[in-house]
């Protein structure tokens, strides 16, 4: 489980398609302490929970001396998320898995992206940015004004909703410490709807039936 509070921005430094392109092995550079990353650990990458299959520290030829970890993205992840567009140089919002006793600064996030939202427009305001996004009708039914949503792994509050479009306002801190500052109209982002909204909708469906 995660909270949607990004703790680092990673960068894909190598990309290896395997299994006839149905699996991608990624090496992601980050600033985490390598000694704290265990094989099998979960790290959310742009909101997608991925399993660490190896880690290390860049050798002396890399002046950045950054930690790296390897993950695999499987066919379902490639089909449902923006991982299909990732390549060497892609920057990713990273979050380590929640520990018991950690502060829940955002909202409960599973790291299981439900699909993709497309940025319709970006409006730069004084010290903030307003984004309008669209998604599928299936996911839009879980999106409500003042509710929570996760976009590329970032916990955000929904500002307005109109049919299958919705908007979010991004504060300066979030623009600085995540990849949101580089978003533009036409970009696709991973979306995870609020678990509570999903459960409430399911309960309503069962009650009605």
- Cα–Cα separations (whole angstroms), residue 23 to 34, 42, 45, 75: 24, 18, 16, 6
For 93, other C-beta atoms within 10 Å of its C-beta total 25
- From 2, 69, 131, 166, active-site residue: 2
Residue 74 annotated to the active site: yes
For 209, other C-beta atoms within 10 Å of its C-beta total 5
Residue 2 annotated to the active site: yes
- From 14, 51, 136, 145, active-site residue: 51
Residue 79 annotated to the active site: no
Residue 131 annotated to the active site: no
Residue 51 annotated to the active site: yes
Residue 49 annotated to the active site: yes
Whether 7 and 94 have beta carbons less than 8 Å apart is answered as: yes
Beta-carbon contacts of residue 200 (< 8 Å; ≥ 6 apart): none
- From 7, 42, 118, 134, active-site residue: 42
Which ranges of 53-160 does DSSP label H, i.e. alpha helix?
75-80, 137-140
- From 19, 74, 79, 201, active-site residue: 74
- From 112, 118, 144, 197, active-site residue: 112
- From 29, 49, 113, 140, active-site residue: 49
Q: Where is 8: in which H helix or E strand?
A: strand 8-18
- From 36, 157, 160, 204, active-site residue: 157
Distance CA 145, CA 33 (A): 38
Catalytic machinery residues = 2, 42, 49, 51, 74, 112, 157
């Amino acid at each position: 489980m995660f909270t949607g509070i990004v703790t680092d921005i990673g960068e894909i430094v190598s990309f290896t398609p395997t299994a006839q392109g149905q699996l991608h092995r990624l090496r992601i550079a980050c600033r985490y302490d390598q000694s704290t990353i265990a094989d099998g650990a979960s790290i959310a990458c742009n909101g997608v929970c991925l399993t660490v299959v190896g880690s290390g520290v860049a050798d002396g030829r890399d002046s950045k001396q950054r930690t790296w970890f390897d993950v695999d993205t499987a066919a379902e992840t490639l089909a449902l998320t923006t991982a299909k567009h990732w390549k060497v140089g892609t920057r990713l919002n990273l979050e380590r898995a929640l520990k018991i006793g950690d502060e829940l600064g955002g909202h409960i996030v599973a790291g299981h992206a439900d699909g993709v939202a497309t940025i319709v427009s970006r409006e730069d305001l004084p010290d903030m940015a307003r984004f309008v996004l669209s998604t599928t009708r299936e996911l839009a039914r879980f999106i409500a004004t003042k509710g929570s949503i996760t976009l590329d792994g970032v916990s955000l509050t929904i500002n307005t909703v109109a049919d299958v479009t919705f908007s979010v306002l991004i504060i300066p801190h979030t623009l600085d410490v995540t990849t949101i500052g580089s978003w533009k109209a036409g970009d696709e982002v991973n979306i995870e709807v609020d678990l509570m909204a999903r459960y409430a909708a399911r309960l309503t469906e069962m009650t009605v039936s």
